[in-house]
Amino acid sequence: MEEKTEGLNLLILSVVLTGFVGLLFHLYNGVLLKPKKLRLKLQNQGIKGPCPSFLYGNIHEMKRIQLQALSTAKSAHKDLKTDFSHHWFPTLFPYLDKWRNEYGSMFLYSTGNLQLLCTTDMEMVKEIGLHKSLSLGKPSYLTKDRGPLLGQGILSSSGPIWSHQRKIIAPEFFPDKVKVRYPNPFNVRFMFHFTSISIV
């Protein structure tokens, strides 16, 4: 009788220990190894970026740069009567502007274990925009985490829903329609200088 309970306790202990080791391996693979491999692949292709910290990626650096830019902007705008500026991107995303100047038109940064490829090369953005394959898709965090906020719009959907929405919205960006809205070519500016592609 004691041998059976001792054997059962040993079996339960080995199952729990195996499950714990499996969980540790899964966490190590998902949090550390997979993002590191992906980052290394992109660095081998010549895409560089700021070095991420463990678990948080570049979030602390992003906050530090944003606070630094905010304090500089406040001290610079004390003498001015208006705070209005059309040069909004470096104000909202100073870390992307800093990294673009530091690493070039294409760089890699991370938020946690999510690796993000950011490009300012307009030809690359055009290629991505012309990509007709439904396999490009959107990352799963847009539909799972931010689904209630974004819905099934063109930003968060993929597959046939994205294809249908793209067909509806694409004619609005044809050059003849843009010229009608903005007859002066100097008024037409690319509002979005950056495109972030999530690499999962």
115 has pLDDT over 90: no
Average pLDDT on 100-125 reads: 87
Residue 163 and residue 152 in contact, taking contact as beta carbons nearer than 8 Å: no
Residue 6 and residue 167 in contact, taking contact as beta carbons nearer than 8 Å: no
DSSP state of 31: I
Res. 199 pLDDT band, cuts 50 70 90: very low
d(CA 95, CA 77): 20
Question: What CA–CA distances, in Å, run from 123 to 37, 117, 126, 152, 170?
Answer: 27, 15, 5, 28, 18
Average pLDDT, the chain: 77
Q: What is the largest CA-CA distance in the chain?
A: 92
d(CA 69, CA 94): 7
d(CA 98, CA 74): 18
Res. 29 pLDDT band, cuts 50 70 90: confident
Average pLDDT on 167-186 reads: 71
Residue 128 and residue 196 in contact, taking contact as beta carbons nearer than 8 Å: no
Res. 138 pLDDT band, cuts 50 70 90: low
